[in-house]
Amino acid sequence: DTGVSQNPRHKITKRGQNVTFRCDPISEHNRLYWYRQTLGQGPEFLTYFQNEAQLEKSRLLSDRFSAERPKGSFSTLEIQRTEQGDSAMYLCASSSPRQGSDATNEKLFFGSGTQLSVL
């Protein structure tokens, strides 16, 4: 178990540029989540994948944001035409459902995040 891996750890970009982040979940986990965290706040849900299917998407995820999870393994989050308000920590998490249980007790394992700064 190598944990959830996110790359890069830090990204500095100029306003208007596109950026892409990568998340490698724990290998046997079929669920993957993206969250955004701004300074002094808790993480905010962005989107959720079960295998390769994107099943839930927050209204926070504007048209400039797109997430993919081809083949149900790693995931990418792309932000187009970045704005200063996009500056935040982007966290990825993964989980695996227990047989016979609902989702309420499912523990999420988080990566260390990608810190985005838009100048």
Tell whether residue 33 is a contact of another protein (CB under 8 A).
yes
Q: How many residues bind another protein (CB under 8 A)?
A: 29
Tell whether residue 25 is a contact of another protein (CB under 8 A).
no
> Which is closer to another protein, CB of 10 or CB of 81?
10
Tell whether residue 21 is a contact of another protein (CB under 8 A).
no
Tell whether residue 67 is a contact of another protein (CB under 8 A).
no
Tell whether residue 110 is a contact of another protein (CB under 8 A).
yes
Q: Could you list the beta-strand ranges (E) of the chain.
A: 5-7, 10-13, 19-24, 31-37, 44-50, 53-57, 65-68, 75-79, 88-95, 109-110, 114-118
Tell whether residue 87 is a contact of another protein (CB under 8 A).
no
What is the rounded distance in angstroms from the CA atom of residue 60 to the CA atom of residue 83? 14
Residue 110, C-beta contacts closer than 8 angstroms, at least 6 positions apart? 4, 91, 92, 93
Among 61, 67, 88, 89, binds another protein (CB under 8 A): 89
| Residue 97 near residue 106, CB atoms below 8 Å | yes
> Which residues would be at the binding site for another protein (CB under 8 A)?
31, 33, 40-45, 48, 50, 55-56, 58, 89, 91, 93, 102-113, 115
